[in-house]
Amino acid sequence: MTQIEVDPDEQISNKRSATLLLAWQCVNHENFAGQTMVQKAQWLMRMGLSRQESAAVLGSTDNSLRVMISQTAAKAKAKSKAKD
């Protein structure tokens, strides 16, 4: 079973732990097959998780996810400008 790691200094309630576990189960469901980590993270953040929590659920780090989201946005912006 995959272990979700969070900051050890952070106190997490049982309710928040259950939320993170449910989030992990959702993004690992077959409905998310073929979606990128950024797409999954954006969905998790729309559901109320922080970027740090989303990264933990996805097995990444907050900084790595931040960079991936930034790169995806830059590519989309460049693609949009190329169409104009």
- Quote the CA–CA distance of 56 and 24 in Å, as a whole number: 9
Distance CA 69, CA 79 (A): 15
Domain boundaries, the chain: 37-84
pTM of the predicted model as reported, rounded to 2 decimal places: 0.74
pLDDT of 9:
56
DSSP letter string, 39-51 = HHHHHHHHTT--H
**Tens digit of each residue's pLDDT, the chain (84 residues):** 556 665 665 656 778 888 888 898 988 888 888 999 999 999 999 999 999 999 999 999 999 999 999 999 999 888 888 876
